[in-house]
Structure 1
Amino acid sequence: MALWGGRFLKKQNSFFKKFNNSLKIDFILVKEDIFGSIAWSKILLDSKIITEDEQKKLETSLNIIYSEIKNTPKKILLSNSEDIHSWVEQKLIYMLGDVGKKLHTGRSRNDQIATDLRLWCKKEIHKLKKSIINFQKSLITLSEKYFSIIIPGYTHLQRAQPIIFSHWCLAYFEMIQRDFDRLKDCLQRIDISPLGSGALAGTGWKIDRKKLANFMNFSKESNNSLDSVSDRDYVVELLSIASIGMMHLSRFSEDLIFFNSGECNFIELSDKVTSGSSLMPQKKNPDSLELIRGKTGRVYGSLINILVLLKGLPLSYNKDMQEDKEGLFDSLETWRMCLKMSKIVLLGLKLNKNICKKSAESGYSNATDLADYLVRKGISFRESHDISGKIVLHAINNNKSLSELSLLDYQSFCVLIENDIYKYIVLKNCLNQKNSKGGTAPEKVLSEIQKNKKIIFNNINLMN
């Protein structure tokens, strides 16, 4: 039985009914719908719309309904109900008769779904923040495990300057901490109750919406009923944050795919997160990372979908908005799965230390330090850059590293170069020179690791 129909003389077309129904998607919101319904029953009692006995019956029955399906929510899909609101109310009416029919007094499915979705988003943000913290912990663990290992840093996928592997780990820590902060900020705009806004114009019953918001653990109630039922900014914002977060994980995955390649061979991925070829027995493919990279596109698609869906909608509620949930549900679950997968990848990752160091040494990544050495000798940086470039070209032509060139080789390009040049271009000293805030000097990186441990501790406290 539908929750409407008095104005209609003919039954719905069977295909339209199936086309119109949203239960297959919004059944996920059953817990939130029941939670909001219990809060609504309390405010109906507070406003003397129902009796205390009726409220108790409603609350008890709603809890029974949830207890029956909380472990197997997909049982809801056996119903032919139009949506989750209809399913809950029909169950309630079946159990309580006329008392069950009183619950919807003053309430619309428009403010009901807006409330359910905000409650669900609050819960999901909590889960996502927990997943981010777990990934952060794995980054810190790996950065400590391989603290002293030197790798080449890249620009344009060309070896640029030496860094320590921990510095690479902390770069991704910074990215995902921004994701954590974005979720925290977004929560402030989600934590607002639209319930009591009715279909679009508010409710004619004297309801304390502030108290109602408190019943549902919202920080406050919304201001404008038209905006309340039609606002999906928070869906756009969450999908935007998820897209940025997935972009970070995709870059992370691409780095590791490159590091894992036969041409690079900096790392070895665990057998637990790789797979083989059905034809080529030697293959060990980084499928876990490639899937993270691939799943990023579907999250981007959901963001574009909601933006296009909303761009031409007049106030207030329109049926188009039924399409706001599937992409959101899928994208946040995808992001959380990818965060978990990224953590698992890091847990089994091994660094090939000698190959990393050899690659950093052989790629002339200490050429900038050579230029800086010349500046210390009183030469302008632009001129020292030119001299260093010529020295690098000479080393390439002679198949030597900068450390392997003789002092006579150096002095043929600049007489100011002395024997102390070798001290400046040793990789360890190149790293130590980068001791400005945020640099790759081991001392600075170690300080950042300690600081980031405190950030994790603060993030955990924010979860409580």
Structure 2
Amino acid sequence: MYKTIIGALLAMLLTATAQAAPRDNFYWLGQINKASVVINTDEGLLTAEQGTRFANGIEQVLKEGDKEGAPRPGLVITFEPLLINAAGPEITMLHAGRSSQDMLTTVSLAMQREEALKLAAALNEMQAALLTLAEANCDTIIPNYTNGVAAQPNSLAHYLLAYSCAFARDMDRLQAYYARINRSPMGATVLNGTGWPLNRDRMASYLGFDDIAYNTYDAGQVFPGEAAIELGGIATGISQHIGSFIEEIMQQYAQPRPWILLKEGNGNTYVSSAMPQKRNPGILNSCRTECSTIMGLAVGATFRTHNVPAGMADGRLRGTDSITGKTTKVVKQFTKILQALEIKPDRALEELNLDWTCSQEIADVLMRKYKIPFRTGHHFASEIVTYARSNNITPNAFTYAEAASIYAKLAATDKALPPSFPMTESDWRNALDPRAIVAHRAVKGGPQRAELAIMLEQQHKTLAADTAWQQKASAKVKKAEQKLNADFTALSKIKGQKAISPSRENSL
């Protein structure tokens, strides 16, 4: 019995999902028409009888368009004939004080708003994965690179938190962009408004906007091109951060024993068709390619609005749904990458101990504890590295006695140095130990445990605030939609019945 009930519920759910109408141009033109008939009836621009009749005509058009395979025209000039067919030419009174320009700009902004919220949700999920990885690797010491060369030891958590900060800035930019696009152009008409006393504020509220785009010329002629450029910049920033991170991982794949790589299988890697030993990092390649594609689309958005007068159709957020959608896809793909990373702390430490990323610490200790000028200490450390590499000596194998001998030779020619090697053997060993170097960092924002705890707390607070913002913004749009649909249904009065067209009414 229970299986039967569960099966029926699943069938209903699948049916409902399959029948859910897309939130496309047709949908948003329908929402604009719903709001127009409700507001204009309340404001006395339409009679109560006209409002009810027009509402039923709109409802009929929308129900027909929601049927599987039915046409869903997305332009005002192709949508309006359906309204006329359903309720007669008089329904075009709804178009008083409206234009394709303010209507379609509103449609674009509403759709872009939803895509932006999807991107925000994906960024939040990715940040959660990044912070989880950071928390698990506070004591994982890795080499960091500058100019493509191993530079200093660092905590992997510190490195990951740097990217968390970067993505938090991307989210800041996305939220600022959202605030700018979430202003309603409706009522701007073509460019300078209308003589009809339209209630722009109520229209904005019904469509889920925070406010109106006040200057009507800016609303439809200037801002749409600017918004496309701003979105391109946000998408480029996210893509740049992801691409940079991916390249750092890709460098490890050139090594026979990487300290970071992807877990095999599950769409992460694939076996070479010719070379059995190769496990190609397919998801890294595809994600990086998509990042480059997004950057190309972003540049295209900029060039379309370049050197054209305001009001031209070249820009107008064209293609931005594709940019935002692709960026969301890339962010989700990057989240999968983060969750698939396999970290080998022992191998990372081994790599550090094979090279001299500790050499700056030697100069730092000489200056910090023994007041030897940094450049002088730097020269000594450089001599150590030159000797060690010439003799194939790693930091772990370099003895205190060898260091003291090199120091003595240098001190004999450099009177700025004390005659005897000032560092103790304990100082020397700690200066060569990547773990000790990281642990003894003393500045705010460094990789030491106490600072990592502070930064993790900061980033968790930021993520919580970003998640709350995304949920609040989504809830506001949903609540506005529910309010509009309820008021529209109340106006139509005959919900569920087919509207009688004027030609049919006259024949009765």
Report the TM-score, using the length of structure 1 for normalisation. 0.86
- C-alpha change, 1:205 and 1:360, in structure 2 (3 Å) is same
Q: Which of 377-386 and 265-274 deviates more?
A: 265-274
1:103 counterpart SS class: helix
2:332 corresponding residue in structure 1: 340
Q: Map Cα deviations across residues 313-368 of structure 1 (whole Å, 9 max, x no partner).
A: 224x334346x422x12111110001101111111221122211101121211111
1:21 corresponding residue in structure 2: none
Letter in 2 for 1:404: A
1:301 corresponding residue in structure 2: 296
1:88 and 2:88 matched? no
2: CA distance, partners of 1:444 / 1:341? 30
Letter in 2 for 1:262: Q
Letter in 1 for 2:336: I
2:238 corresponding residue in structure 1: 245
Q: Which of 258-267 and 438-447 deviates more?
A: 258-267
1:226 counterpart SS class: helix
1:31 corresponding residue in structure 2: 27
| Match for residue 138 of structure 1 among 126, 129, 138 | 129
1:364 counterpart SS class: coil
1:362 and 2:354 matched? yes
Letter in 2 for 1:419: E
Give the unaligned 5+ runs of structure 2: 1-21, 408-420, 473-508
2: CA distance, partners of 1:87 / 1:279? 55
2: CA distance, partners of 1:417 / 1:401? 19
2: CA distance, partners of 1:458 / 1:395? 51
Letter in 2 for 1:242: A
2:464 corresponding residue in structure 1: 457
1:18 corresponding residue in structure 2: none
Q: Map Cα deviations across residues 403-450 of structure 1 (whole Å, 9 max, x no partner).
A: 322222111122223212113322221001223112111331233122
Letter in 2 for 1:461: A
1:432-451 → structure 2 map (5 Å cutoff): 432-451=439-458
- C-alpha change, 1:59 and 1:410, in structure 2 (3 Å) is farther
- Please identify the structure whose Cα radius of gyration is greater: 2
1:378 and 2:371 matched? yes
2: CA distance, partners of 1:202 / 1:280? 67
Report the TM-score, using the length of structure 2 for normalisation. 0.79
- C-alpha change, 1:57 and 1:179, in structure 2 (3 Å) is farther
2: CA distance, partners of 1:306 / 1:103? 33
CA displacement at 1:64 relative to structure 2: 5.5
CA displacement at 1:109 relative to structure 2: 0.2
1:400 and 2:393 matched? yes
CA displacement at 1:179 relative to structure 2: 0.6
1:38 counterpart SS class: helix
CA displacement at 1:258 relative to structure 2: 1.9
2:171 counterpart SS class: helix
Contact 1:152 1:356 in 2 (8 A): yes
Contact 1:243 1:299 in 2 (8 A): yes
Q: What RMSD, in angstroms, separates the aligned Cα atoms of the two structures?
A: 2.3
1:4 corresponding residue in structure 2: none
Give the unaligned 5+ runs of structure 1: 1-25
Letter in 1 for 2:250: I
2:381 corresponding residue in structure 1: 388
Percent identity over paired residues: 23
Letter in 1 for 2:422: L
1:42 and 2:48 matched? no
Contact 1:362 1:401 in 2 (8 A): yes
1:274 corresponding residue in structure 2: 269
Contact 1:41 1:58 in 2 (8 A): yes
2:506 corresponding residue in structure 1: none
CA displacement at 1:40 relative to structure 2: 2.1
| Match for residue 55 of structure 1 among 47, 51, 55 | 51
2:3 corresponding residue in structure 1: none
Contact 1:131 1:339 in 2 (8 A): yes
1:148 and 2:139 matched? yes
Q: Which of 283-292 and 387-396 deviates more?
A: 283-292
2: CA distance, partners of 1:27 / 1:438? 45
1:318 corresponding residue in structure 2: 312
Contact 2:353 2:394 in 1 (8 A): yes
Contact 1:258 1:264 in 2 (8 A): no
1:44-123 → structure 2 map (5 Å cutoff): 44-63=40-59, 65-66=61-62, 75=69, 83-123=74-114
CA displacement at 1:186 relative to structure 2: 1.3
Q: Map Cα deviations across residues 268-318 of structure 1 (whole Å, 9 max, x no partner).
A: 313122223233233211121222221223222222222222223224x33
Q: Map Cα deviations across residues 197-237 of structure 1 (whole Å, 9 max, x no partner).
A: 11223112111222222222222222332222112212211
Q: Map Cα deviations across residues 101-126 of structure 1 (whole Å, 9 max, x no partner).
A: 33222210011111111112222221
2: CA distance, partners of 1:163 / 1:70? 57
- C-alpha change, 1:310 and 1:432, in structure 2 (3 Å) is same
1: CA distance, partners of 2:314 / 2:430? 68
Say which structure, 1 or 2, has more relative contact order (CA 8 Å, 6+ apart). Answer: 2
Letter in 1 for 2:433: V
Contact 1:260 1:266 in 2 (8 A): no
Q: How many residues align?
A: 431
1:411 and 2:404 matched? yes
CA displacement at 1:132 relative to structure 2: 0.5
- C-alpha change, 1:109 and 1:264, in structure 2 (3 Å) is farther
1:320 counterpart SS class: coil
Letter in 2 for 1:279: A
